[in-house]
Amino acid sequence: MRMPRGKTTKKKRSDNDSFCSGDVILATIQFTDTAEIKIRPAVVLFGEFDNLVIAGITSNTNMEGIPLSIEEGAIKPSVIKLNYIFTISTIMVRRKLFSLSRSKKLQIYNALLEKLSSLSQVKKKQILVNKEDMEI
């Protein structure tokens, strides 16, 4: 059956369409600074229920992030942007492109830990403050 022009339908994903950490996907993404919606590559960090937490990928190799080469599966030299993390519904995924190697996933993990390390320092300070409050 042919759909009338201008009308779109959402493709429903089947239950066996699951994604793993390190999968590089092609997804419909809405940018935060505009109302634009584009199809872009991203790497899956983790998924819960019907949502995926992803990091954007850009072909602008001047941007900061983790390099992704053609040999690793990218169409052209790219960068995984760990400063561009957001949540999407699995319905927004067009398809899985490839999976990252274990070493590349470890590189992402370590870079995220480094970026989030300030949280653990805040927690330590908070614990010290709470102990001091208890001594009063």
Residue 98: give the domain boundaries. 23-135
CATH at residue 49: 2.30.30.110
6 part of a folded domain: no
Q: Amino acid identity, residue 84?
A: Y
Q: Assess contact for 111 and 64: CB atoms under 8 A.
A: no
54 part of a folded domain: yes
13 part of a folded domain: no
Sorted by sequence, the CB contacts under 8 Å of residue 56 that are 6+ apart come out as 29, 40, 41, 42, 80, 81, 84, 85, 86
82 part of a folded domain: yes
14 part of a folded domain: no
List per-residue pLDDT tens for the chain, 136 residues long.
444 444 444 444 443 368 999 999 999 988 777 788 899 999 999 999 999 999 999 999 999 999 999 999 999 999 999 999 999 999 999 999 999 999 999 999 999 999 998 887 755 555 555 555 555 4
8 part of a folded domain: no
pLDDT reported for residue 14: 40
Q: Please state the length of the chain.
A: 136
Number of domains the chain is built from: 1
